[in-house]
Every structure is written in C-alpha cells, then in structure tokens.
Structure 1
Amino acid sequence: MYKFSEKSKKKLETVDIKLQNLMNVAIKESPYDFSITEGIRTMKRQIELVAQGKSKTLKSYHLKGKAVDIAVWIDGKVTWDFKYYKEVADCIKRVARKLGYIITWGGDWKTFKDGPHFQIED
C-alpha cells in the first residue's frame, strides 16, 4: 500500500475535494506508487506548457482545480512508460466508479495521449 509524500499532498490540496478523495483512495489501491506532479495551474504556467507542446489548450481543467498530473514510480525512479500509466489509470477509473465520480484520463484521448493527466467532471 502506497501513500503520498508531503509534496504530493500539498499539490493535491489545490484541487477539487472530489479529486482529492479519488486520488487519496486510489494511491492505496494502486499497483504502483505515484506522486502528484501538478494540481491547479496559473494561466502563465498553462501558456508555458502550450508553448512547450506539453499541453494543447488554454482551457485546461488545471486552471479551475479540476485536474491533476501524476508521475509513476518504478524501483525508486519516475517512469514515463505508458504501460504503467495505463495500469494506474485502470485503478483510478475503478475507484472513480465506486465513488460515483465521472473522470477523464488523458491516456484515452485520441489525438494527444496524456498518460499522467486525470480530470474530474462536475
């Protein structure tokens, strides 16, 4: 069973309470450890990410505290291997269904696959 670092907790505190609940349950059930790398964002940060090609929109759910990005840890190191994000996403989706939350995983997007991204609908 995994748990969030203080750094992850601080980032998680910046987002919608449902998203906090979801991630706090999911970390305990996840097949791999993961951290929260981003919660709420400023427009300035969003503009930078679009300029870098790391985001495709200025209407990100991060701007309103409805999204988080994660990093999956394997053997003490962050991995960007999509297969691990898929397994963690499957866990997060299962937890969301149990809690009655509607979420979107960036890895399911057709054009811009964003494995670390999760957003919650109202």
Structure 2
Amino acid sequence: MTYALGQRSLARLEGVHPVLVAVVKRAIEITTQDFGVYEGVRTMERQRKLVASGASKTLNSMHIPAVDRLGHTTERLGHAVDLVPWIDGEFRWEWGPCYAIAFAVRSAAAQLEVADKMNWGGVWDRWMHDLPGTEAGMKLAVKQYAARHPGPDFLDGPHFQIGRKG
C-alpha cells in the first residue's frame, strides 16, 4: 500500500531542513506503516515544557531552528522531526510500528545519499547508514543500543534528525 502525507503533516514540515523534508516525503512513499509528522520545528518555550514534563531530555533540541548544520544555506532551520505511527485514524505511540518507519527512513536516506548524516532516536550513537537494512535489524539495533547504554537513557522511536549524532 502507498501512503501520503496529509496537509497537517506537510504543514508541520515547514521550517524543517529541506534535505530532511525530502527524506520524510520519500519514506512515506516506501513505508509499510503509515505515519504522520507529529512535530517538526519547536520553539524554545515548547522545548522547556517538554523537558519539564520528562518528554525530552535536552534544551539543545534539533527541533529548534539553528544555522544549517549541513552548510547548504544561511537560513535557521529545524533539523529534526517526530514521525509517529498513524493507526486507525490516530497517532499511536507504540514501538512495534516505529521499526517499520525507521527502516523506511533509513532506506529513503540511503536513496537520497544522506544516511551518513542522519540518526534515529532509537539508536542515538549511530548514523543511519550504520544500522541494519531490515525492520528486524532495526529492532535488534535498539536492543544493542540499550545494552551499550544501560540506565535512564531516552529511547525516542519517532525521532529522526540530520546533522548531529545523539
């Protein structure tokens, strides 16, 4: 089945780095799991609230517009998106479907030759091109990451960013 981003998701990509937008648009075309863009650009005020609530661990979020980390433009851009599974007409925060989305994003990034510049919130310490090329492999990579980083690490399955690891 082929999916497409809705108007709300497309609007949430405004201000996001165009390379990351291209990856998201390609990923929705090839994914086996429908998803929506839950969040793109954030304000510092929103980021502070997310940190205070425990939904984020840093004020140095890649969602907050910053100078282009890839050096393509002088614009201030968001360098992260949250792609949440869309199931039965609603966003669902479940890990299982996130692996299919992560695999689609990895595949799209590889096709667009930027997998060496992107990483995923399921495996913060690896570039996407270093991750396995299957859904099962993505799941295993998260398990291996958790073993390398025991303790209160923040696994964020819907989060994808470009320009910085971790």
The match for 2:5 is 4
Letter of the 1:52 partner, please give it. Answer: S
Q: Distance in 2 between matches of 1:57 and 1:15?
A: 19
Q: Secondary structure at the match of 1:62?
A: coil
> 1:92 matched to which residue of 2?
105
Show the 5 A alignment for 1:15-94: 15-64=16-65, 65-94=78-107
Unaligned runs of 5+ in 1: none
The two structures, once aligned, show a CA RMSD in angstroms of 1.3
**Which structure would you say has the larger Rg?**
2
Distance apart, 1:87 and its partner CA: 1.4
Q: How high is the TM-score relative to the length of structure 2?
A: 0.70
Quick one: distance in 2 between partners of 1:40 and 1:55? 14
State the distance in 1 between where 2:82 and 2:91 align.
13
Contact 2:36 2:91 in 1 (8 A): no
Matched residues, number: 122
Query: Using the alignment, how far apart are the partners of 2:109 and 2:162 within structure 1?
Result: 9
Q: Secondary structure at the match of 1:108?
A: coil
Alpha-carbon distance between aligned partners in 1 of 2:160 and 2:26, rounded to the nearest angstrom: 14
What's the TM-score, normalizing by structure 1? 0.94
Q: Which has the higher helix share?
A: 1
Read off the aligned partner of 1:115 and give its amino acid letter. Answer: G
